[in-house]
Amino acid sequence: GENVEQHPSTLSVQEGDSAVIKCTYSDSASNYFPWYKQELGKGPQLIIDIRSNVGEKKDQRIAVTLNKTAKHFSLHITETQPEDSAVYFCAASSGQGAQKLVFGQGTRLTINP
């Protein structure tokens, strides 16, 4: 089955700098790759996603890139702000009809003022 590896597990950056989180996946049939932000005590919030027919997608300060050949995708956050501090999860679609999501282990991002 699908396996998703996420790095780093923790990341600390200065406010205003950029943050990059990387994920690799194993199942070449995966075709949907969302990113979620989870704050303490809350449910995961979908922040951006990308499908396998697209190489890059951007939404304001957030961008995601996908390399299907290498089976890896990355989240880029520019001009980081304190409210970006949270745990970020990548995921890849898998299973029957590619409906279920397989999640990475998470990255705890801390933005230092």
Q: Where on the chain is the footprint of another protein (CB under 8 A)? A: 6, 34, 36, 42-46, 49, 89, 95-97, 99-106
CB closer to another protein, 36 vs 73: 36
Return d(Cα 61, Cα 34) in angstroms, integer. 16
Give me the least distance between CB of 15 and another protein, in Å please.
25
- Name which of 29 and 46 has its Cβ closer to another protein: 46
Tell me the closest approach of the beta carbon of residue 72 to another protein, in angstroms: 17
In three-state form (DSSP H/G/I as H, E/B as E, the rest C), the secondary structure along the chain is: CCCEEEECCEEEEECCCCEEEEEEECCCCCCEEEEEEECCCCCCEEEEEEECCCCEEEECCEEEEEECCCCEEEEEECCCCHHHCEEEEEEEEECHHHCEEEECCCEEEEEEC
Q: How far is the CB of 47 from another protein (least distance, A)?
A: 11
Looking at the Cβ atoms of 77 and 92, the one nearer to another protein is 92
CB of 100 to another protein, least distance (A): 4
Tell me how far the alpha carbon of residue 113 is from its chain's centroid.
23
Nearer to another protein, 11 or 103 (CB): 103
